[in-house]
Structure 1
Amino acid sequence: MKCSEVKNMDIVKVRVGDSVFETNKSLLLGECEYFRALYRSGMVECHQEEIHVRNLKAQGFLIMLAVANGERPILNDEEILEAIECAAFFQAESLARHLQDLLNSNNCLLMYQVSATFGLLGLHEMSAQFIRNMYRDLQEDLKKLPQELAEHVESLVPSAFVAVGSHSTCSVDELPLAATRTVCYLDEYDEEWKVLTALPMEASTSLAALTVLDNRLYVVGGVHGVDKRPVDASFCYDVVTNTWSLLPGPRQPRYNFTLIGIESCLYAIGGESGRTTMSSVEKYNVVTKEWTFAAPLPRPVAGVACTKAMSRIFVCLWKPMETNEIYEYIPNQDMWVLVSTLLKHQSYGHCMVAHRDNLYVIRNGPQDDFLRCLMDCYNITTGQWTSMPGHYGNSKGALFTSVVRGDSVFTLNRTMTMEYTITGNMWKPFNQVKGFPRNGSVWTFLLRIPKERKEVTVS
């Protein structure tokens, strides 16, 4: 059989409404449970020249094919509605995940209601949580939804702003003196920092890497003492059961590295070992509990600025002189790809956070001024950079603790917790409460904390 004949056998025609699409059969089988079930059944439809799909609009199917082919289209409200219907009908996993990535304050109510109508449960729950996180801004609009939908949102708990200071490991004898070795969260109603849990004695947050994946906190690496002996073990905190578990450490012991989680995997990026800066990257599968090496960074780096946007991993690397390079990690190809370059006089990106499809690169001000940071925004959809006007106060490294929730950015230091609202090309100060009373570096993140907990105020 000729190659061209084999290729033709893999082409299938699908009629949706008045439109006919020629597409790859293996693509449909890989993306849609509907087509997998159809071809497993041996029904007469799968032997016909065309497969007819009724009661769907062609635009939704076209969007599904685009996402299946690796595109990430930004959708308007009408396209979202048709895409949700299509994702639910065909049980299209990639399209459902893409819709989750598109959630924002402008479309979350639409996604929540429409996903409930068509039974797209993953998107429904993620939309509900997103709305709960932005309840202050959306509560009036929420009242316009059916009562059962509004009540479901109100039954959820918002993601809390959580912080932990920099602590080395602790012995039994030192434990009574280690009262500050606690993970704490901000009670926004009382405007107080409260204790969530104590760190395990064997855990170090000094030059460690912390991240949250699937509402679990991971503490990996770190050092013992002033001679910077690496901590071999890793730790996982389950906020629902209020328990810590011990996990294996990376194959290459490291500290001062970056940890980020996506799709049931943790990525330990760069860092130091034996006072040598590394480019190596390791991936931890939370299901198999195994570490494996991934593609290394283009060059060695410690404490690299890294963030997640639309389920994609980005890092900001420095390259003398005065060059900031944005790289994206492509998991299915295991490679780092240069996305864009930013040139700024005497200034490098030290922190990076994401909001929607925007990357905010926070960099030092003129002449290495870290008290007046500058900020640039890179849009991963359009590929355009925007310089944000003015300076941003960075007293004691507050901006380097930035965490995004909804349309808000939380920053933190010992003297104050500041909430900004992201609006247009600015971060506008919105609210200020008491700071986090810990010395040294501070790690911040978001966790959904169950309602039934005994509260302990931080002193």
Structure 2
Amino acid sequence: MDPRKGIISVRVGGSVFKTDKSLLLTYSEYFRALFQSGMMECQQEEICLKSLCARGFSIMLAVLGGKQPILDGDEIVEAIECAAFLQTEILTKHLLDLVNSDNCLLMYHTAATFGLLELYDEAALFIRSMYQDLQEEMRILPGDLVKHVESLAPSVFVAVGAHSTCTLDNLPHSSMRTVCYLDEEKNEWRTLTELPVEASTSMAGVAVLDNRLYVVGGVNGIHKQAVDSCFCYDVMTDSWRMLPSPQQPRYNFTLIGLGGRLYAIGGEYEKTVMSSVEMYDISAETWSFKSHLPRPVAGAACAKAMSRIFVCLWKPMNTTDIYEYVPITDEWQQVTTLIKHQSYGHCMVAHRDNLYIIRNGPQDDFLRCLIDCYNLTTGQWTAMPGHYANSKGALFTAVVRGDSVFTLNRTMTMIYTVTGNMWKPRNQMKGFPRSGSVWTFLLKVPKLRGEPNSNNLNGHTQ
């Protein structure tokens, strides 16, 4: 009998778990080393783990089985201990998805205690991005953990306007082709970097992955000539580089990043709406086609939640179907459907295990938007009460940081707090001094970069 296969009993505390040995071999470095070592335990029908809690091991088995359980405080501690001791990457990734304002301090402290470095880093970054909100609660942390958080670069709200490529003839006007960030302390927009002259952000794919900004495709000119250039901006080195272009030219498509890959979803080419999807592997620097969408779509609303990709597909004017892309099987699976009279989702953002679908109001009213929430854990829809002002499309630029939602237009930056079943207005700051469409996202900008690139946009003539 192959010692790596079959059902095995694992005794943890006073509980015995029967599980597939190959499952442990696949996902746990601890068990992989044990089963491949040739030690006596390889032949035993029962293995005893004396230093772990049964509940933590049970949570690990649930995650290995494809579940995504929401955990409370004690469960988090025991799951972190189990992930660290058994070196289970898939459990660690699930814990990363669960980091939020209610548990980030516990996650951070516990991950530091058990040496789960990936979770330690992620929780610290989350705390840094919510530093003002968590300052009082951080007093419970040891001093060295507080100092580490304070040494990190926070996520800042970043915006770039829709610009076509820039030729030699219009170089004198290229000063507007800048990526800018909001200095929240001084309530000013400041320049982060300039776009390469060959880059277009007009109807392009724009996304952030691993703190790098990607600009793919787009159009140039009034005839919407497709641009095939593809660029990456590394905020840490303040440098741009050109990347290989997708195999299928496209514009007005959705670009989203997950797990070291970018996905170009749908879009248009030569006035034809497409259902094709391409994936860019960051490490291999290659594009490849993936499974087509169930139907063609351009400018689809898309979001990441719990390390999963979701996209809205429309059947105007009443139906919004939400599909999930499953990378491991290369499939699009329908998750749920929202049916509202004369309304469908134009923007989707994620907060914890919730998807928020922002749609036009009654009678196709885009100035008074409605928001519906779909919870991935319960599978339930909730209609958020009231209307939300959508002056000049601000809500369609929504970006979530911690428990805050940033929305933006030329007039103002409106910040909401996600609380209960509503978004509560929290703060209003300066708008982005650019006309036309705007891309918004988050980036962690190094502190040492601070002043050299911090030109004040609001003091410039536009």
- TM-score of the two chains, using structure 2 as the length reference: 0.97
Q: Secondary structure at the residue paired with 1:178?
A: helix
Q: Which whole-Å CA distance do the structure 2 matches of 1:270 and 1:408 have between them?
A: 29
Q: Which whole-Å CA distance do the structure 2 matches of 1:182 and 1:105 have between them?
A: 32
Q: Secondary structure at the residue paired with 2:135?
A: helix
Q: Is the 8 A contact 1:232 1:248 kept in 2?
A: no
Corresponding residue for 2:401?
A: 405
Q: Is the 8 A contact 1:192 1:457 kept in 2?
A: yes
Unaligned runs of 5+ in 1: none
- Counterpart of 1:51, as a letter, is I
- Counterpart of 1:201, as a letter, is V
> Over aligned residues, Cα RMSD in angstroms?
1.2
Q: Secondary structure at the residue paired with 2:169?
A: coil
Q: Secondary structure at the residue paired with 1:163?
A: strand
Corresponding residue for 1:55?
A: 51
Q: Which whole-Å CA distance do the structure 2 matches of 1:263 and 1:157 have between them?
A: 22
Unaligned runs of 5+ in 2: none
Q: Is the 8 A contact 1:60 1:79 kept in 2?
A: yes
Q: What is the 5 A alignment of 1:51-450?
A: 51-450=47-446
Show CA shifts across 1:207-237 (max 9, x none).
0010000000000010111111111121000
1:7: how far off?
11
Show CA shifts across 1:28-80 (max 9, x none).
11111101111222111111121111111111111101101110000111110
Question: Which has the higher mean CA deviation after the structures are superposed, 119-128 or 166-175?
Answer: 166-175
- Counterpart of 1:456, as a letter, is N
Q: Secondary structure at the residue paired with 2:252?
A: coil
Q: Is the 8 A contact 1:417 1:432 kept in 2?
A: yes
Show CA shifts across 1:286-317 (max 9, x none).
00001011111110000000000010000111
Q: Which whole-Å CA distance do the structure 2 matches of 1:424 and 1:13 have between them?
A: 43
Show CA shifts across 1:373-395 (max 9, x none).
00000001000000001110001
1:172: how far off?
2.4
Show CA shifts across 1:238-295 (max 9, x none).
0000000100111100000000000000000000011100001111000000101111
Q: Secondary structure at the residue paired with 2:125?
A: helix
Show CA shifts across 1:155-181 (max 9, x none).
112100000000000012321211100
Corresponding residue for 2:456?
A: 457
For these two proteins, the number of residue pairs brought into alignment is 455
Q: Which whole-Å CA distance do the structure 1 matches of 2:2 and 2:46 have between them?
A: 18
- Counterpart of 2:32, as a letter, is R
Q: Is the 8 A contact 1:257 1:272 kept in 2?
A: yes
Show CA shifts across 1:77-107 (max 9, x none).
1110100000000000000000000011100
Q: Secondary structure at the residue paired with 1:167?
A: coil
Q: Which whole-Å CA distance do the structure 2 matches of 1:456 and 1:276 have between them?
A: 41
**Alpha-carbon distance change, 254 to 71 in structure 1, aligned in 2, over 3 angstroms:** same
Q: Is the 8 A contact 2:4 2:25 kept in 1?
A: no
1:319: how far off?
1.4
Q: Is the 8 A contact 1:283 1:291 kept in 2?
A: yes
- TM-score of the two chains, using structure 1 as the length reference: 0.98
The alignment-based identity, stated in percent, is 68
Q: What is the 5 A alignment of 1:30-41?
A: 30-41=26-37
**Alpha-carbon distance change, 42 to 6 in structure 1, aligned in 2, over 3 angstroms:** closer
Q: Is the 8 A contact 2:253 2:298 kept in 1?
A: yes
Q: Which whole-Å CA distance do the structure 1 matches of 2:101 and 2:404 have between them?
A: 11
Q: Which whole-Å CA distance do the structure 2 matches of 1:146 and 1:343 have between them?
A: 50
Q: Which runs of 4+ in 1 moved over 6 A?
A: 5-8
1:9: how far off?
4.4
1:320: how far off?
3.7
Q: What is the 5 A alignment of 1:1-40?
A: 9-40=5-36
Q: Which whole-Å CA distance do the structure 2 matches of 1:66 and 1:233 have between them?
A: 44
**Alpha-carbon distance change, 47 to 348 in structure 1, aligned in 2, over 3 angstroms:** same
Q: Secondary structure at the residue paired with 1:202?
A: coil
